[in-house]
A and B are shown apart, each in its own frame.
Chain A
Amino acid sequence: MQPTSHAFKENAREALGNANLQKALTLMRSGFPERRAAAIARLPEFEALREEAKAIKNHVLEHLDFYLETFEQQVTARGGQVHWCRTPQEARETVLAICRRLDAKTVTKGKTMIAEEIALNDYLEENGVTPVETDLGEYIIQIRKEYPSHVIAPAIHLVKEQVAASFRATHTELDPNRRLEDAPTLVAEARAVLRQKFLAADVGITGANFCIAETGSTIIVTNEGNGDLTQTLTKAHIVLASLEKLVPTLEDVSTILRVLARSATGQEFSTYTTVSTGPRRPEDTDGPGEFHVVFLDNGRSAMLGTEFQDMLRCIRCGACMNHCPVYATVGGHAYGWVYPGPMGAVLTPTLVGVAEAGHLPNASTFCGRCESVCPMKIPLPKMMRHWREREFEKQLSPAAYRYGLKLWAFFASHPPLYQAATALMTRLLGWFGGPRGRFRSLPLAQGWTQGRDMPAPEGRSFMSLWAERRKNGDAA
């Protein structure tokens, strides 16, 4: 799937008119914030933990080469293998090569954003390997051929009728007259269908919320248990991870885990937090025979040492989009690619280019709510502004807009000129605003006046009134 971020405005317009999506977003916009607030109210140390989590990740980023090397040593010592991939293509080929060597027909997948980022599923299918998403939300969007619309709840944009329709269209071996009206039935059907896939799969692919240098372990965090069935029942466990997932020790990851679930869903801890270290041991009676960690760079190493480095602290909790007032109106698909919401607005231009994704960091009011809830204290609005600076340098914004700003800046840096012009404008607009005191429509402001009135100025500028009063001796 190609990114459609360049069409953000059109995507957004569609989203605003999509009744099912709006219904889902209404639920989301109060639900997640309330649950998060309740969870952190129960943990007095939450703010201190945020600071520690930020410090741990900053330390890792400053020494990322060391931690990656150490991690690799540990993985290798336990019989696993680390693969280094610079690009999505290298990562895809690496995964396919493992699957081919093991003669894999189907692979089950736990939720991994990296797999979306490298478009792994299409590639595997083209090459004769069938990938099956097992996270329920990912499974639903897989059969609908959509992008995830949220980093932890990929199918949040859908209502159950849409899910039922997709199940009917896909699970054709089941009785077409069966009832699929409610969530429990849908979940039960997914459980049954996917259980068979788990048992039949040759290879299991998961992501990694964290990679622990101390032990060469990877961690996944799920509520369903799908990631566990994916990695336990198969011949090989392949972990897809971007470089910045490193964390030094088991204690360090415990700190970050404490802020993760609470920020994401308001849970104290996710249902399944699983630490995987190497392949099965010789004496084990289950577990994968092989353990592979596929590291993807795809621009991460280049982000280090730049004004975007802080973005590498992201742990993909989704709190930012859960609290974003823009996301709450348009949902995740409007952003046009894998990563939506505030974190997507910062990350996507890095990965697909600012020409493609320029709208994303612009479609923000900089309200700052994202930054205030980010467990890793990432300054998201600041980095969106950096993207705007890069765009300005490249003159990527529309000409009319740039000229308007230039004009404003010119007047603003010449106060006497500004004050003469504004004294006149305010009189005119105040007069035209008439007794009603507002404009129903205003040339050059159609975007505003389509849905809102524009209140009229009072008719004089403050500076001209103040100057008058001073002259008349009224003011100090």
Chain B
Amino acid sequence: MPPVPIRVGLFVTCLVDLFRPSVGFAAVKLLEDAGCSVEVPAAQTCCGQPAYNSGDKADAKTIARQVIDAFDGFDYVVVPSGSCGGMIKQHYLELFADEPAVYQRAQHLAQRTYELVSFLADVLKLERVEARYDGVATYHDSCSGLRELGVKHQPRKLLASVTGLSLKELPGAEICCGFGGTFCIKYPAISDRMVADKAADIVATGADTLLAGDMGCLLNMAGKLTRLGKDVRVRHIAEVLAGMAGETPPIGAGRPERG
């Protein structure tokens, strides 16, 4: 009898859902290529972080309960974002610390939840991917992925296996890009300065490609780079690892002319 594939529920995240479905499809491909069966529960929208970080615990709990319900039953829940991944894996526990019944279910969900690249490398023990990407890439460590979920060496390891790609370390890779969810809306001038500093670091590497694991950071950095007229292709790491970079223009770069 063939082995039963690992049943993964994909939490696609609101920013991937709205801005860049390609990342969701890249995640599905990576998971399926690695032998998982992937489902996308329909009753998903947001992880609740905007409400949570704004101090609105009630709404955060409503949305979180929805996520807990929707992702019941999967072997694993995989998220192409360190920020949403961290929300589910760490902050749901804080959120429901005062509700023992839900806390237990949140704990069960947290144990099964992983950021995408961490899942591939740490759980599925993937050593390499079969993909090609011609270019010099630099990688930004999104804060939540790095500090809440320990995502650091996994993306670099898998990127090292991509044919044609060479990786140039980004000085200050671990410094926040200034997105911060609600922060960039509340404090746009400070956010803009932070992303300007980040863009300067990126350009100084001479890389032609910027990769990261979080759409919030990517939209922020891409928006700054295009405004500055810099020729850096910005993509989610999933697109490159899945070998799907050729199927979509880089973030913020526009559609090729249709002939």
Q: Which residues of A contact B (CB under 8 A)?
A: 9, 12-13, 16, 325-326, 329-330, 362-369, 371-372, 382, 385, 387-393, 397, 401, 405-406, 408-409, 411-413, 415, 418-419, 422, 425-426, 433-438, 440, 446-448, 450-458, 460-463, 465-467, 475-476
Contact = CB atoms under 8 A, between A and B. Distances in A.
B147 interface: yes
Contact of A388 (B24, B53, B59, B252): B53
A437 B235 CA distance: 14
Interface stretch (B100-108, B129-137, B186-194, B205-213): B186-194
Nearest to B252: A455
B50 A458 contact: no
Given A437-B255, A455-B19, A462-B17, A415 B43 contact: yes
Contact of B190 (A16, A382, A392): A16
Highest count of chain A CB atoms <10 Å: which of B54, B175, B185, B252: B54
A365 B183 contact: yes
B229 to A, nearest CB: 10
Contacts of A408: 46, 50-51
B179 interface: yes
A313 B53 CA distance: 24
A369 B51 contact: no
B42 interface: yes
A124 B17 CA distance: 62
Given A9-B187, A366-B53, A452-B195, A415 B45 contact: yes
Given A365-B179, A367-B143, 6 more contacts: A326-B194, A366-B181, A388-B54, A408-B46, A452-B195, A465-B21
Contact of B66 (A367, A385, A413, A475): A413
Contact of A16 (B44, B56, B66, B193): B193
Interface residues of A, dominant DSSP? helix
Given A412-B48, A452-B227, A12 B62 contact: no
Given A325-B176, A408-B50, A422-B18, A392 B45 contact: no
Interface in B201-259: 219-220, 222-224, 226-227, 248-249, 251-255, 257
Contacts of A455: 19, 219, 222-223, 226, 251-252
A453 B252 contact: yes
A418 B144 CA distance: 26
Nearest to A451: B192
B223 A452 contact: yes
A466 B94 contact: no
17 contacts: A326-B187, A363-B187, A365-B179, A368-B143, A369-B147, A388-B53, A406-B59, A409-B56, A409-B59, A409-B63, A415-B42, A448-B223, A453-B224, A454-B219, A458-B22, A462-B17, A463-B12
Interface residues of B, dominant DSSP? helix
A457 B252 contact: no
A26 B224 CA distance: 20
B116 interface: no
B55 interface: yes
B184 A458 contact: no
A390 B56 CA distance: 9
Contact of A362 (B186, B226, B255): B186
Contacts of B25: 462, 465
Contact of B19 (A413, A446, A457): A457
A404 B48 CA distance: 14
A451 B227 contact: yes
Given A369-B176, A455-B222, A382 B252 contact: no
Contact of A12 (B54, B59, B175, B189): B189
Interface in B126-160: 143-144, 147-148
